[in-house]
Amino acid sequence: MPLDVLFLVLFGAALHATWNAIVKAGTDKSLDAAMIALGAGAVGLVFLPFVPLPAPGAFPFILVSAFLQFAYFQLVAAAYRAGDIGLVYPLMRGGAPLIVAATSGLVLGEHLSTASMAGVLVISLGVLTLAFESRHGDRRAVLLALANAVVIATYTFVDGAGARISGNAISYTLWMSLLPPVLLFGWAVFRRGAAAVRHHVRHNWRRGLFGGAGSIASYGLALWAMTKAPVATVAALRETAILFALLISVFILREKASVWRYLAGGVIAAGVLVLKLA
């Protein structure tokens, strides 16, 4: 993988961990997740006039991706209500590249080398290490995080293929950001009422805009990288965000972390490094 692609994906990983921390630190996880999506959509609208339209064949992928993103944000909020970011985030983000790497040959026709598969096994070991901590944590949080790993892997395939078909990964990302906030806020108004939603937006729009900008920039960098390198490799490298999330959970959110969490983060990062070097 070219060095510029490597560093941009790592930067995107740091942005991704940051917006997840914003959701975790918020008082209303569901509406905070919707605010992140709204912020990403607002940023997308600003830049849409400056990019070309995606190829027509990309729009079905954008539509499917919107519903997957809706499910993703709902599961992010539910998982953070149930457990710490230092536990939930590694499971979500560590499990997804396993699924992508294991199935990319079937889905995209991208077959991994022996070294790449070794990286997958190392990441698997890291994810399994978290099971030792989950014995003392909330099993519901673990199940929600693993369910979201499946959703993440699915939209990674959808968007990786869609970005390639679109002819412009940035344009695809901006268009993809528009529908999820409509779905999320429509659901929030249905469940919570318009007054509660307006109150939250009025008091948290700055956090949503900041987190949304980080969200769309992070994902746009990943999709661009997927047009330059195999999807499975980029998906795995992006999960270095696990280490950023661990640092945020300990030093900013002041969450307690067991030795298993530190060990898991290190093993998952080692697996990502093996995939990078493969």
- Provide the residue count of the chain: 278
**114-147 pLDDT, tens per residue?**
887 787 778 777 776 766 665 555 778 888 988 9
SS3 271: helix
**163-195 pLDDT, tens per residue?**
999 999 999 999 999 999 999 999 999 988 999
**DSSP letter for each residue of 33-56:** HHHHHHHHHHHHHHHGGGSPPPPG
Taking residues 50-73, report their average pLDDT: 94
**245-271 pLDDT, tens per residue?**
777 777 877 777 778 778 877 887 787
Taking residues 221-237, report their average pLDDT: 81
Contacts of 215 (CB under 8 A, 6+ apart): 15, 16, 19, 36, 37, 39, 40
Does the pLDDT value for residue 224 go beyond 60?
yes
What would the two tokens of residue 124 be? 């698997």
State what percent of residues in the chain have pLDDT above 70: 91
pLDDT at 136: 57
What would the two tokens of residue 23 be? 């959701």
DSSP letter, residue 111? P
